[in-house]
Amino acid sequence: MSAYAGRHAELYDLFYADKPYGDEASFVHRCIQELSPLHVSRLLELACGTGQHSFGFEKLGYQVVATDYSNDMLEQAKRKAAVLASGVDFRFSDMRDLRLAGEVFDCAVCLFDSIGYVETNEALINVLNGVYRHLRPGGLFIFEFWHAAAMLVHFEPVRVRRWEFEGSKILRISETTLNIERQLARVNYSIYEFRPDGCYVFLQEVQKNRYFLIQEVAFMLESANFKPIRWFSGFCWDAPICEDSWHILAVAQKVSCKSRQTKQS
Ligand SMILES: C[S@@+](CC[C@H](N)C(=O)[O-])C[C@H]1O[C@@H](n2cnc3c(N)ncnc32)[C@H](O)[C@@H]1O
């Protein structure tokens, strides 16, 4: 695992300082309130990164176990948790092999398109099976993914962004290529950190993330005994889903294998 490591993990919150994490956590809270048949108190987060949503969920009253497979991202999350006196329980876990010692949750979430990092159908099914094992019957799995329609219509091969941070100027160049057959966006990040003493540091990181169409995700959910309940365009309750919808928020419910078998027979 070489992505989201080292200095990239340290700079992550700067890169996403504009992201409305609090509003997104509130949107997920609304989904839970309006769509979950269960009272939700214990919430499992996959791919929590530096914990920006996790702290939002905690503020909304949930007891949060937040997992990621980047120790460096978790270290940032734990550092902030200490400052905030937060009780979020941050743990190392690869979502493709989720094993949380028999623990069961009322709801699970995986945000900011992180589910696409598992790339293959087989790995995605492993994620869904892991979530299934750790959810109470009827519990919701709420996750966000990159939408193929927007990616194929609007993808930008090169993006450049700049920030100022602790006296340094930071330049990030993102170069994206698509592997259409495997539905993967390969993003090559080149990050230059120009320091006040005239020196600069250069970091490079390649990430591969999958984009999906809604009906293929529906099919995979159903194969893993989840019922798709709602699809949202981003974090908007009523906006129609179209080729401008870059992010889809999926709400799926765990159905028991038994009730599915009865329905099918
Ligand atoms: C785009 S970041 C999102 C982090 C956080 N959810 C947020 O919204 O800021 C993607 C995260 O997914 C994590 N990740 C990728 N593949 C993973 C896997 N197989 N298991 C656990 N975490 C994974 C990375 O380490 C990274 O922290």
* pLDDT tens track for 74-116: 999 999 999 999 999 999 999 999 989 889 999 999 999 999 9
Ligand 1 centroid to Cα of residue 65, in Å, is 14
What is the pLDDT, as a whole number, of residue 102?
80
pLDDT-above-90 percentage for the chain: 92
pLDDT surpasses 90 at 261: no
Mean pLDDT computed over 59-70: 98
What is the pLDDT, as a whole number, of residue 105?
98
Looking at the chain, the domain(s) classified CATH 3.40.50.150 span: 6-148+212-264
pLDDT surpasses 70 at 263: no
Ligand 1 centroid to Cα of residue 183, in Å, is 18
Please tell me the least confidently modeled range out of 96-110, 201-215, 249-263.
249-263
What is the pLDDT, as a whole number, of residue 257?
72
What is the pLDDT, as a whole number, of residue 191?
96
The total number of residues written for the chain in this structure: 265
What is the pLDDT, as a whole number, of residue 260?
56
Strands (E), 121-257: 135-147, 158-165, 168-179, 184-194, 200-212, 226-233, 247-254
| Test site for ligand 1: of 64, 69, 96, 211, most ligand atoms within 8 A of the Cβ | 69
User: CATH fold of 6-148+212-264, please?
Assistant: Rossmann fold (3.40.50)
What is the pLDDT, as a whole number, of residue 192?
97
Calculate ∠ Cα 259-42-24, nearest 5°. 100
Mean pLDDT computed over 19-30: 98
Q: Give residue 236's Cα distance to chain centre.
A: 17
Q: Which CATH class is domain 151-210?
A: mainly beta
What is the pLDDT, as a whole number, of residue 2?
66
pLDDT surpasses 50 at 265: no
Mean pLDDT computed over 193-204: 94
Q: Residues near 58 by Cβ (< 8 Å), separated by ≥ 6? A: 64, 86, 87, 88
Ligand 1 centroid to Cα of residue 170, in Å, is 22
> Is-above-0.85 flag for pTM?
yes
Looking at the chain, the domain(s) classified CATH 2.20.25.110 span: 151-210
pLDDT surpasses 60 at 143: yes
pLDDT-above-70 percentage for the chain: 96
pLDDT surpasses 50 at 174: yes
CA dist 236 → 168, 212, 239, 247, 249 (Å): 36, 19, 6, 10, 9
Return the structure tokens found at 124: 């995605």
Residue nearest to atom 13 of ligand 1 (CA): 47
Residue nearest to atom 10 of ligand 1 (CA): 114
